[in-house]
Chain A
Amino acid sequence: MANSHQLKRVDFIFRNENDWEKVLSKTIKLKPQDIINELISSELKGRGGAGFPTGLKWKLTAEAPSEEKYIICNADEGEPGTFKDREILSKVPYKVLTAMAVCGYVTGAKQGFIYLRGEYKFLEPELNKALDEFQYYCSEIKLDFKITIFMGSGAYICGEETALMESMEGKRGEPRNKPPYPTLRGFKGKPTVINNVETLAHTYTIFNYGAKKFYDLGVQYSRGTKLFSVSGDTPKPGIYELELGMSLQDFVYEFGDGDTKAVQVGGASGFLVPRKKFKDAAIGFKGKLTGISLPTGGSMMLFNSSRSMFNVLDNYLDFFREESCGQCTPCRVGCQQLLLGIKAVKRGEKPASYLDKLLRLTETMQLTAKCGLGQSVANSFSSIVENFREEMIY
């Protein structure tokens, strides 16, 4: 555990995908119910960060009564510090396409979309080439499933699943109220499975090697592996597939530069963990037996002691202020006021105690903002202000 300093490297996601035709034809010979059961027993949870059980999502959509259903691959990877989905789509695109087609078979959907962020437009030609070949094979095995690419246009919020659907419908990317959830009413009001790129790639691993192989990795409540995007003050930035449940201490031992002051886990919407808490923190879904459970989107940004945490928070808040869709007041006004607030404290125009007022504001945002963006600003704000209060003031 914490004293072993051993991170287990795993290689499933980027392992060769040459067998995709075999995996596809083999899997769609199974009964939909059996595929769903296999996914449920693997305990795979969504890898975009929210962690909804994937098998259950497919099951709910399969059971939703509708002639028309959709499968969406969420490739609007915008969280600061994540870049794994781009790597999956450029290195093993057939895995994602195969998983989407299987999902279509299981749920009864005939149409799939890849919502690709505008920043990744350069991937489009290669991806279309893969799609052509994939589509040709589908027609050969008489599988009625069509995938098209839908390009985003530079909006972080469109990674939120209902905002993404609004965007595909030609509207402003403003999140919807939930419920109803997309499994019942998604794209164009029809039952929709929307999965992160990496989640789909993991389902391919499960189709190929079976649920048990996946389940045996990771820890209780956090099964399987995860891609981690490592950046910041580290001698080896990049993308690494690791088992879930690792301690942050071990992670820093492996990836730190010897002077790691804090790690931002889960991107700007995640938490900043200071050095003194590394040993108590583990990366996994809530429900782990001990310690702090950290978000699992896979963004790991390391900061060494040369970095000012004020600058870090200032950068995040500027990001949120720009990317807030503006629909609900707590998020729109909250992000602006937080940014103005920390600057005022830094300049001495407001007393240090003003930080406590700002912390209460983030609590309000967490309770009242409509979607995950506004609700999660509190995560980084409170974890930075509470752990590095003196850096906010002096």
Chain B
Amino acid sequence: MTTTTQPWAVGRTLVRDVTEPLLTVRDLEVEYRTRRGVVRAVDHVSFDVYPNEVLGLAGESGCGKSTIAHAVTRILKPPAYITGGKIMLGGVDVLAMNEENLRGFRWEHLAIVFQSAMNALNPVITIGEQIVDAIQAHMNVTRREARQRALELLETVGIDPKRIDSYPHQLSGGMRQRAVIAIALALNPELIIMDEPTTALDVVVQKQIIEEIQQLKRQFGFSIIFITHDLSLLVEMSDRIAIMYAGEIVEIAPSRQLFESPQHPYTQRLMNSFPSISGARQTLKGIPGAPPDLSDPPPGCRFHPRCDVAIAGRCQEVHPALREVKPGHWAACHLLDQEVSK
């Protein structure tokens, strides 16, 4: 490592106190304005991410988890618009920044890793160049310094530094994803959002990369919002998990607790959709029906049409609020209200 005058060696600036959240999202609303009408992809979503924690964001297609990732990094494009809410990263109001400030802010404090590495990697530029470009776009350093940093990064993520001049197509899927992670780490951000980073990879490679990510997190100390539909993976590697359904967070709790005693009927049924390789073989039912059309969501609780324990009347009319049903464990369900109020 070079001297402390190197920009990336300077410590984090955003948050000092680890008991304070790093990222605060309150009442986030994102709309898609299409010819068919307005779709509320994200509806009053609130959550926090603490320093050095992994927050898992789970849900099925159309639940809004990817939209949240794009909203927090401010890369949403029309017809998607952020129509409400607050996003504070380390005390900085992310929604208030203009394009210029955002460009400086992004990648230094906040980075994103996408599912398909080919979306993030330019196929006609070597991976070394792409890392160097990312660095030079933000830092006033010479090419040599940037390239040196790129070599270090490749080594850190487990790519042979000699491959710095390889093109993306010359690397395997796992290697490409590691390259994307290297680019994300280039400026040592405090928060990395990973949107289905291992979904397209084989399970063995997935395990390797997850382990490497965990190792990197210990080494560099950053938080992760890990977005995926694979709940089993999240239970194993995240600290807390938020379950999303139809644009809302319906449950949020520490991973182990969520796994052992899920409170929301959707979470329970969702867990009943993952066959496991240990334990007794059970009959799994999945969940009948399909996620609702967000241009016209069901009244009341959005899950009630598919819920087998819905309370007649109440669940169809009144929208349940996210309540703390146990310490640190929040869920939005009328069934739980009754229990809590007992």
Is A bound to B? no
Q: What is the interface of chain A, defined by CB distance below 8 A to chain B?
A: none
